[in-house]
Structure 1
Amino acid sequence: MFRNYLTIAFRNLTRNKVYSFINIGGLAVGMAVAMLIGLWIWDELSFNQYHKNHDRIAKVMQHISNNGEVQTRESVPYPLAEELRKNYGSDFKHVLLTMNDVWNVLSYSNNKFLKIGSYIEPEGIEMLGVNMLKGSRECLNDPYSVILSASVARALFGNTDPLEKVIKMDNKYAVKVTGVYEDFPINSTFHTVSFIAPYKLFSTRYEWVRTMGDPWRANAFQVYVQLSENADFDKVSFKIKDAKLKKVNAELAKLKPTLFLQPMSKWHLYSEFKDGFNIGGRIQYVWLFGIIGIFVLLLACINFMNLSTARSEKRAKEVGVRKAIGSARSQLISQFFSESFLVVTLAFILCLFLVQLCLPFFNELADKNINILWSNPLFWLVGISFSLFTGLIAGTYPAFYLSSFQPVKVLKGSFRVGRFASMPRKVLVVMQFTVSITLIIGTIVVFRQIQYAKNRPIGYETNGLVSLPQAINEIHKHIDIVKDELLKSGAVVSVCETSAPTTESWSSSTEFNWPGKDPNLLAEVPIIGISYDYGKTIGWQMKEGRDFSKNFASDSTAVILNESAVKLMGLKQPIGKAISWFQQPYTVIGVVQDVIMQSPYEQVKPTVYNFTKDDVSYILAKVNPEISATIALSKIETIFKKYNPSQPFDYNFVDEEYAKKFDNEERISKLATFFAILAIFISCLGLFGLASFVAEQRTKEIGIRKVLGATVFNLWQLLSKDFVVLVLLAFLIATPLSYYFMNNWIQNYAYHTDISWWIFALTGLGALLITLLTVSFQSIKSALMNPVKSLRTE
């Protein structure tokens, strides 16, 4: 019986090739979209699950009250680790003090690489579940040891065994390679870590760690913990919340530091905080794309249901004959479900092919390394269940609708589908285009928000500005000579030094005081150390006063404020005003236009620029616009290697670094655009099928109208107007829906665009034009048909 069902189903598919292609192709595209989104969601949800103890690991974070706003920080003071071990040790299996994202030059023989590493305490190897390929888990007990990722070990030593080899870090410290570990996967927080060294080595190397006056002041470290077996994240968070507050001085206590634990399972998806509360993060995109995947698949199922019910009259006699010779309704339902499952099976096979074909493009678009999980039983279980469910959804309505026909009426020729028989199809078409239009409007709003932030004045000139990280301080020792040679080479027009890249602020302080400051106000202000010619190099806009100058010896105790800092301090005439920092007097010599260093979607923070002599992490150079960047970089490299041969030449264009701030939103925008295009394609595919059916159904009517004098335009209008009405109705439903959701979305950004009326008008017009183009092919084809053929007796 089942074999007979499949045979009949296959014959029906081959007899109606156009409708079969639309059904199978549409379902395959919908299933492919759903599968791609499913793989993306799987990758997002499995983030950090590489670490075997991920469900018990947490990061110690803190909320602080800064200038009336509760801010959330990942960094904490280093004594906190010992404090947690000493007074809360029963709640933790491990407490790990680390310094992350440290750039160091690793060199062996003639091989030199600038890499990012982490300095951790020895127990971190066990706690983080580092997969050791060579060496033991006790490999960091020696303070002058290091373990390398497999890729860095190959780069440094080739095929030679790296164990017990001695390498140099920053050309200063000799350390022994005691282990090699498997590279962390891209869906791990630590995927950029290329080496791991003991924390004791960090504290030995950097004098400021050992000599700071109040170690509870510097929030520069990270503390990770692994909870004991019976401990609960929330309960332990509550117990430790005042652990820092009890140790800081009275001035810092005004910040009201409150500690809490952020579980590793939430680091990636729940990373955003506002006013001391977690407001989500990437989890909103997981929900968003999950919903999109469901709706796109639903669109494909709608096509199947629409075309199946639309062709019901052509199969009415088949149903009547089957019932007349004894077929039960359950058998007919089984027949139609067999057809549905055959279509879905073929669509699933085609879907796997499409997904495999699209994965390279999709991975590039999503910045992922996703593969089809061929060997994972769960993938096949979900895939097959998913297909069965799709077949059930797509086939339910046709099966029960077609099997309900009365055989007497059908065989007597008196069967009529009724004036409201097409209503379900119309409702489904409206639903399709409502989803598609909503997706298009959402995509446009996301794109406009990105462009709005991109067009925001950033306060300096990024074109031709090159940032050169300095892990080894040799260039700084010869900065005057290096600067002179760079200028004489013609490669650059200006050079300076700074304590932080132009796209970030690494340091802040609460120790600023100024005339008229409210004694209850405790504001944490970012501070950037800069050298002479910083303003000239980056091209910032001086609003008042002047830049630092060698002509003024007093500039060593001078500062420059941005506009937000002047506003915070309430300085009416800031130039010449005295402010203090750590009770040392400084004079304001200039005010600059706000420079965006943090998020381009947020308000610029009050910032202080001070003159620095030794705190140098970057060299900034303005490339000569009259020569090519390649030639300029070659000349810069030659001079840098002359004075700092121990460090590989490394650079970043500042405009590219700034552009990375938009990566997440742009990636989401591209993915949304991709899915919106596929949604409208699936909708139009179904519309094309319905238009073909309507045109075929009204062939005789068209022939009669042509004989009576109807023009091609009249007939096109006749066949198109019903679909136009449906799309306009979908537009009216989609407009308030999309406005509500997108208006809520943009409110998450302090600096955001508005939602203009023309977005809806343009989208509605576009949907209308796409509909007319889709329908017009069949409409005009039918209108041009010879009426003699249309009216010929069958």
Structure 2
Amino acid sequence: MFRNYLKIAWRNLLKNKGYSIINIGGLALGMAVTLIIGLWVNDELTYNDYFQDRDKIAQVYQSQTFNGNVGTGPAIPLPLEPALRDGYAENFKHLMMASWTQDSYIKYKDNNISRPGNYMQPMAPELLNLEISKGDKDGLREINSIMLSESTADALFGEEDPIGKVVKIGNQYDLNVSAVYKDIPFNNTFNDTDYIIPWDNYVANREWIQESLDNWGNNSFQLFVQIADKADLESVSRTIKDVKKDLNEDTAEFDPQLFLLPMKDWYLRSNFEQGKQIGGRIKYVWLFGIIGAFVLLLACINFMNLSTARSEKRAKEVGIRKSIGSQKGQLIYQFLSESFLVVLFAYLVSVLIVLLCLSGFNELARKEIEFPWNNINFWLISIVFIFFTALLAGSYPALYLSSFKPVDVLKGTFKAGKYAGLPRQLLVVLQFTVSVAFIIGTVIVMQQINHAKNRPIGYVKEGLVQIPTWSADFEGKTDVMREQFLKSGAVFAMATSSSPTTRVWSNRSGFTWDGKPDGFQDDFAWTEVSPEYAKTLNLKIIDGRDFSRDMASDSLGILINKTAVKYMGLENPVGTLIRYSDQEDEEEQDPPLKIIGVVEDIIAQSPYEPVKQAWYVYDRQDNFSYYNLRLNPDQSASQNLAVIERVFKENFPAIPFQYDFVDDEYAEKFAAEQRIGTLSGIFTALAILISCLGLFGLTSFVAEQRTKEIGVRKVLGASVFNVWNMLSKDFLKLVVISCFIAVPIAYYIMNGWLQEYPYRVILKWWIFALAMLGSLVVTVLTVSFQAIRAAKQNPVKSLRTE
């Protein structure tokens, strides 16, 4: 019986090719969008699934209160690790200190490459579930060892066996390769860990870390844990909450509260506000999941509308089948079989669309998603997906068509009824309500991105290049390099800095100045710079003056930004002396710092957030990480870079020449929102296309049903415009209703979304008006094609049978 149903369904598809193409095409587009969103959502939700014990792994976070504002992050002090190891050992299987991921130059013979990696304690291979392909899994036990990823080992050694070979890090110290591990998968927190060096080596070679061994105020480190097999993560988190406050009274004023953030939340739920977890990327998972569901719904609505619109053409078929004994249930099965066949074809087409688009989607979304051909769960879900879509799309037409009374149909007295078209009208309204809401949402997202992009950033990013200086080779050569770069003609100005222009790497507190309120908890972004920093970045000095190499006293000078003036409560900031508040003995005090100038605020963190109070301190100890170069504007960037590379290689022949354009680095701050906006725009366009396909099909059937009416009207003198108006006005009314429903819904949702951004765009009426106008224009264009085509037909053809 089912085979017979499929035969009938196949014949109906062939008989109505235009209807079949619209139906299958619309469903295929909807299913393709749903499939590709489903693959993206699965990739997001399975982030960090690489780890076997991911439910037991966490990172230590802390919340601290500064002047009533609670800040939360993963930076912790170094003494915390031994305190947890000694006092709470029964709660943990592993405790692992780790540096922040950083690029380093790794050299073997004449081969010198730059790779990101970490310093970690010896239990890292087990905690990170590393797959060792060569060497010893306990390869971090020796202080002068290093573990490399397979891709890094291949880049360094080629066909040679890397185990036991000696590599040089940053041209500072030699390390023995103890193990090679398989590259960590892309959708993983540690996917950019291409090398691991023992933590003890990190401590031994850095004096500032040795000074931090007992310093509870220096929050510059990371601590990862794996809790004991029988321990509960939430219970352990509550247990360690007040450890820092209890063990160090000096930090108690900031009310530090420790907790464990489980691995499952690192990627999707890592945002905090006033100490409370408020989500993160999970909002995008929900957003795209909802978009995928609605796009599939729009495609199913098309199927329902086109199927019920053809009801009168199928009425006699239903009447005859019922008169010869077909039961209503059999008819329902028949129409659901037709739906299943259409959905099956649509699914096959959708898979083809996904395969064609997946590479471009990965590039746009910064993913490495592969089509899961060998995943049995995917195919099981696909079967359920096909049956669910067939049921969703075909249930209403099946129930509707199977309900016709055979007597009325065969006597010729069947009428669809006064309100027969009402369900179709409601579905069209739903379609365009969703489409208009999508349009409004996409426009507002792009408006918010552009609003932040157009925000004054405080310096000129165009023509500014930064070169990393992560090697001992750079020490003591700053003045020489500045002189050579300037003489080359490719560089207009050069300065060094301890942080990149687009980020803040260090925050400091514990200062005092005249007028500082009692109990005020200070916190400043801290960047050490050479005297040419303001000139190189084109910073605007709004009070005081810039650094000068000719004034020896400027070695204790600082520049502060405009926000810091307000934050510190200074009316006349220039000349203000700043001391370390913990140095009470005047004889042992470091010389005070002196504010010599005030600069415009620089956006170095999120462009959606207020600018943080910042100090730019004269670098007295060559504590720099970057060369900042202002390119010669009279030459092309490529010419300048060629000259800069030549000068660089003459002085550092063994170091790879690396550089970043600051404007590209700044653009990365918008990358996540830009991707979301672009993907939303594409999905919105597809949703509109699907809705228009359905509208196109409905218009063609309406025109076909009213062929004779149109012929009579034309004989009586109706113009093309009259006929167009007759066929179009009903659809336009439905779209207008959709607009008035969509606008308040979109306003409520997008206004709530914008509240997450302190620096945000103001919703304006023209955004909603533009979306409404756009939807009406698209509707007119879609309907007009069929309406004008019907209006131009020769009335003789439609009336000659009368």
Question: What amino acid maps onto 2:305 in structure 1?
Answer: N
Q: Which residue of 2 aligns with 1:705?
A: 713
Instruction: Measure, in 2, the Cα distance between the counterparts of 1:157 and 1:296.
Output: 50
Q: Which residue of 1 aligns with 2:419?
A: 420
Q: Which residue of 2 aligns with 1:393?
A: 392
Q: Which residue of 1 aligns with 2:662?
A: 654
Instruction: Measure, in 2, the Cα distance between the counterparts of 1:24 and 1:59.
Output: 49
Kindly indicate whether residue 704 of structure 2 is the aligned counterpart of residue 696 of structure 1. yes
Instruction: Measure, in 2, the Cα distance between the counterparts of 1:587 and 1:80.
Output: 34
CA shift, 1:402, in A, is 0.4
- Tell which deviates more after alignment, 23-32 or 214-223: 214-223
8 Å contact kept, 2:150–2:182: yes
Instruction: Measure, in 2, the Cα distance between the counterparts of 1:6 and 1:181.
Output: 54
Select which of 616, 638, 642 maps to 1:634.
642
Q: Which residue of 1 aligns with 2:168?
A: 168
Question: What amino acid maps onto 2:522 in structure 1?
Answer: A
Instruction: Measure, in 1, the Cα distance between the counterparts of 2:529 and 2:630.
Output: 15
What 5-or-longer segments of structure 2 have no aligned partner? Answer: 584-589
CA shift, 1:208, in A, is 1.3
- Tell which deviates more after alignment, 603-612 or 574-583: 574-583
Question: What amino acid maps onto 1:281 in structure 2?
Answer: G
Query: What is the DSSP-based 3-state SS (H/G/I as helix, E as strand, rest coil) of the residue aligned with 2:757?
Result: coil
Kindly indicate whether residue 602 of structure 2 is the aligned counterpart of residue 595 of structure 1. yes
Query: What is the DSSP-based 3-state SS (H/G/I as helix, E as strand, rest coil) of the residue aligned with 1:62?
Result: strand
Instruction: Measure, in 2, the Cα distance between the counterparts of 1:207 and 1:385.
Output: 61
| CA displacement, residues 269-288 of structure 1 (integer Å, 9 cap, x when unaligned) | 00111110111000001011
Q: Which residue of 2 aligns with 1:271?
A: 270
8 Å contact kept, 1:299–1:679: yes
Rate the CA distance shift 1:616–1:249 in 2: closer, same or farther, 3 A. farther
| CA displacement, residues 572-602 of structure 1 (integer Å, 9 cap, x when unaligned) | 1111121223544121100011111110000
| CA displacement, residues 14-66 of structure 1 (integer Å, 9 cap, x when unaligned) | 00011100111111111110000000000000001111111110000100112
What 5-or-longer segments of structure 1 have no aligned partner? Answer: none
8 Å contact kept, 2:78–2:212: no
Question: What amino acid maps onto 1:453 in structure 2?
Answer: A
Q: TM-score, normalised by structure 2?
A: 0.98
Alignment of 1:273-288 (within 5 A): 273-288=272-287
CA shift, 1:508, in A, is 1.1
Alignment of 1:223-238 (within 5 A): 223-238=223-238
| CA displacement, residues 153-203 of structure 1 (integer Å, 9 cap, x when unaligned) | 110011211111111111121111111111111110111111011101111
Q: Which residue of 1 aligns with 2:767?
A: 759
Q: Which residue of 1 aligns with 2:206?
A: 206
Kindly indicate whether residue 791 of structure 2 is the aligned counterpart of residue 776 of structure 1. no
Question: What amino acid maps onto 1:11 in structure 2?
Answer: R
Query: What is the DSSP-based 3-state SS (H/G/I as helix, E as strand, rest coil) of the residue aligned with 1:138?
Result: coil
Q: Which residue of 2 aligns with 1:714?
A: 722
CA shift, 1:212, in A, is 4.0
| CA displacement, residues 701-736 of structure 1 (integer Å, 9 cap, x when unaligned) | 000100111100010001000000000000000000
Instruction: Measure, in 2, the Cα distance between the counterparts of 1:655 and 1:418.
Output: 64
CA RMSD of the aligned region, Å?
1.1
Question: What amino acid maps onto 2:653 in structure 1?
Answer: P
Instruction: Measure, in 1, the Cα distance between the counterparts of 2:700 and 2:213.
Output: 81
Select which of 644, 669, 676 maps to 2:684.
676
Kindly indicate whether residue 458 of structure 2 is the aligned counterpart of residue 434 of structure 1. no
Q: Which residue of 2 aligns with 1:483?
A: 482
Q: Which residue of 2 aligns with 1:215?
A: 215
Q: Which residue of 2 aligns with 1:446?
A: 445
Instruction: Measure, in 2, the Cα distance between the counterparts of 1:740 and 1:388.
Output: 35
8 Å contact kept, 1:100–1:118: yes
Question: What amino acid maps onto 2:633 in structure 1?
Answer: P
8 Å contact kept, 1:475–1:643: no
Question: What amino acid maps onto 2:760 in structure 1?
Answer: H
Question: What amino acid maps onto 2:358 in structure 1?
Answer: L
Question: What amino acid maps onto 1:664 in structure 2?
Answer: A
Instruction: Measure, in 2, the Cα distance between the counterparts of 1:701 and 1:136.
Output: 86
8 Å contact kept, 2:172–2:472: no
8 Å contact kept, 1:475–1:640: no
Q: Which residue of 1 aligns with 2:614?
A: 607
Q: Which residue of 1 aligns with 2:188?
A: 188
Query: What is the DSSP-based 3-state SS (H/G/I as helix, E as strand, rest coil) of the residue aligned with 1:244?
Result: helix
Q: Which residue of 1 aligns with 2:465?
A: 466
Q: TM-score, normalised by structure 1?
A: 0.99
8 Å contact kept, 1:475–1:482: no
8 Å contact kept, 2:171–2:472: no
Kindly indicate whether residue 345 of structure 2 is the aligned counterpart of residue 346 of structure 1. yes
Q: Which residue of 2 aligns with 1:262?
A: 261
Alignment of 1:218-617 (within 5 A): 218-250=218-250, 252-581=251-580, 583=583, 584=590, 585-613=592-620, 614-617=622-625
Instruction: Measure, in 2, the Cα distance between the counterparts of 1:167 and 1:340.
Output: 65
- Tell which deviates more after alignment, 68-77 or 492-501: 68-77
Rate the CA distance shift 1:255–1:646 in 2: closer, same or farther, 3 A. farther
8 Å contact kept, 2:528–2:623: yes
| CA displacement, residues 336-360 of structure 1 (integer Å, 9 cap, x when unaligned) | 0110001011111111111101101
8 Å contact kept, 1:171–1:646: no
| CA displacement, residues 249-281 of structure 1 (integer Å, 9 cap, x when unaligned) | 42x321111101000010000011111011100
Instruction: Measure, in 1, the Cα distance between the counterparts of 2:84 and 2:576.
Output: 44
Kindly indicate whether residue 653 of structure 2 is the aligned counterpart of residue 645 of structure 1. yes
Instruction: Measure, in 2, the Cα distance between the counterparts of 1:280 and 1:132.
Output: 35
| CA displacement, residues 301-332 of structure 1 (integer Å, 9 cap, x when unaligned) | 00000000000000100000111111111111
Instruction: Measure, in 2, the Cα distance between the counterparts of 1:184 and 1:67.
Output: 41
8 Å contact kept, 2:61–2:260: yes
CA shift, 1:379, in A, is 0.1
CA shift, 1:210, in A, is 1.2
8 Å contact kept, 1:33–1:296: yes
Instruction: Measure, in 2, the Cα distance between the counterparts of 1:392 and 1:24.
Output: 15
Alignment of 1:12-23 (within 5 A): 12-23=12-23
Q: Which residue of 2 aligns with 1:104?
A: 104
Instruction: Measure, in 1, the Cα distance between the counterparts of 2:523 and 2:569.
Output: 16
The percent identity for this pair of structures is 52
Instruction: Measure, in 1, the Cα distance between the counterparts of 2:449 and 2:64.
Output: 30
CA shift, 1:466, in A, is 0.5
CA shift, 1:100, in A, is 2.4
Q: Which residue of 2 aligns with 1:736?
A: 744
Q: Which residue of 2 aligns with 1:5?
A: 5
- Tell which deviates more after alignment, 510-519 or 266-275: 510-519
- Total equivalences in the alignment: 793
| CA displacement, residues 443-496 of structure 1 (integer Å, 9 cap, x when unaligned) | 000000000000000000001101111111433412112111111110100001
CA shift, 1:642, in A, is 2.6
CA shift, 1:82, in A, is 1.2
Question: What amino acid maps onto 1:641 in structure 2?
Answer: K
Instruction: Measure, in 2, the Cα distance between the counterparts of 1:233 and 1:727.
Output: 52
Instruction: Measure, in 1, the Cα distance between the counterparts of 2:169 and 2:472.
Output: 13
Query: What is the DSSP-based 3-state SS (H/G/I as helix, E as strand, rest coil) of the residue aligned with 2:220?
Result: coil
Q: Which residue of 2 aligns with 1:624?
A: 632
Question: What amino acid maps onto 2:59 in structure 1?
Answer: K
CA shift, 1:102, in A, is 2.3
Instruction: Measure, in 2, the Cα distance between the counterparts of 1:114 and 1:245.
Output: 40
| CA displacement, residues 632-687 of structure 1 (integer Å, 9 cap, x when unaligned) | 12222222223333321111110000000000000000110010000000000000
Query: What is the DSSP-based 3-state SS (H/G/I as helix, E as strand, rest coil) of the residue aligned with 2:177?
Result: strand
Question: What amino acid maps onto 2:596 in structure 1?
Answer: I
Query: What is the DSSP-based 3-state SS (H/G/I as helix, E as strand, rest coil) of the residue aligned with 2:649?
Result: helix
8 Å contact kept, 2:64–2:70: yes
Instruction: Measure, in 2, the Cα distance between the counterparts of 1:485 and 1:120.
Output: 39
Query: What is the DSSP-based 3-state SS (H/G/I as helix, E as strand, rest coil) of the residue aligned with 1:674?
Result: helix
Q: Which residue of 2 aligns with 1:94?
A: 94
Instruction: Measure, in 2, the Cα distance between the counterparts of 1:636 and 1:477.
Output: 19
- Tell which deviates more after alignment, 607-616 or 488-497: 607-616
| CA displacement, residues 89-141 of structure 1 (integer Å, 9 cap, x when unaligned) | 11111011111212211000111012111111111110110111112211111
8 Å contact kept, 1:62–1:257: yes
